[in-house]
Amino acid sequence: MAGYQGNSDFDACTLPKDYEDLRQSVRSLAEEQIAPHAHDVDEQGRFPKEALDALRQAGFDAPHVPEEYGGQGADALATVIIVEEVARVCMSSSLIPGVNKLGSLPLILSGSEELKSKYLTKLANGEGMFSYCLSEPEAGSDAGGMKTRAVADGDHWVLNGTKCWITNAGESEFYTVFAVTDPEKRTRGGISAFVVEKNDSGVSFGAPERKLGIKGSPTRTVNFDNVRIPADRMIGEVGTGFTTAMRTLDHTRITIGAQALGVAQGALDFAVEYMKERKQFGKAIAEFQGLQFMVADMAMQIEAARQLVYAAAAKSEREDKDLTYFGAAAKAYASDVAMKVTTDAVQLLGGYGYVKDYPVERMMRDAKITQIYEGTNQVQRIVIARSLLK
């Protein structure tokens, strides 16, 4: 995948051949090795180990890790395409590459060379996944209201607190954790970031949340009870954690847009094929103009979202000044489209769309989370408005 690096001057309407070849490779893998397990993963609420194994073998589980740490060095657009194509068949599985990027990007943005060499190499080698610990029971949209504390103790920091809604918690070996190091300063230099390992003494996990969708991706609380962290596991300097957290989300909200694109495309693809085969009143329902209008709208909305997500990916790669705006816009628009398209797909299938024998009801349930996590779409609109009005 070394060819997919730094090519951020593309025309989103006509992607370079390398990216289209990548799409076909990921689509083939997803359809052959991930899709057959998607229903069972959802029904049993189990982690998609088959997907993890397949993605690791192909180098798609953490493709963003730079080559100098043993990774593929995929740029932002290549990562978006990988997540999109996996989400097209299984949203839970798409959270493997998506959350690996979310959890490890703070190291790439702010970590010391020693920290990057140690943990990014392990991630690239498949020695463990990475999760991102920002939200707390009383600090979701208001991340700056976090209560988890880190107190210096010699050449260590001691962490106490709870993080909630942590994706892949318990499955991941490594966690980027944000904690208050100066209660007076808080978001203005009082929050720091650390790497915590699953087996560190004092780390524990709550029971898996019982969720509407993405049931194959475990979501749990992570508890820290006097967890002693060596000082060299701090990401960046003391007090820079909140800035790192927000910079990370500017980049990774685009990945949520990619998930939304994938699940929407999967729902449309299934609905179109169903319409060609399903007959009512003596002809295929694809011949009914009212339903034709529905799929036309679905296709237009998906393509508009794709152009926005891909443009945001290019801005992420270049670190353009308007990345915050475009990251928020891509996430909000694509996820709103995903919710509408998957709901319409259920409607197109009628009674069949409402039962678990067909995948569109799962896709609709899975799509909903893209409007919520990594910042609700209401928060994204605040971000967008502030970018316009500042």
What are the backbone angles phi and psi of residue 91, rounded to the nearest 5°? -65, -40
Enter the tokens of residue 103: 């959890």
Q: For CA atoms 103, 108, 112, 115, give the dihedral sign.
A: positive
Q: Which are the catalytic amino acids?
A: 374
Nearest to 159, CA basis, from 180, 175, 137, 140: 180
Which amino acid does the sequence have at 230?
A: P
Rounded Cα gap, residues 2 and 78, in angstroms: 10
Contacts of 58 (CB under 8 A, 6+ apart): 25, 26, 29
CA dihedral angle for residue 336, residue 339, residue 342, residue 345, rounded to 10 degrees: -80
CA dihedral angle for residue 120, residue 121, residue 127, residue 131, rounded to 10 degrees: 0
Identify each DSSP E strand in 168-236 by its residue range: 174-180, 191-197, 203-205, 219-230, 234-235
Nearest to 261, CA basis, from 77, 49, 389: 77
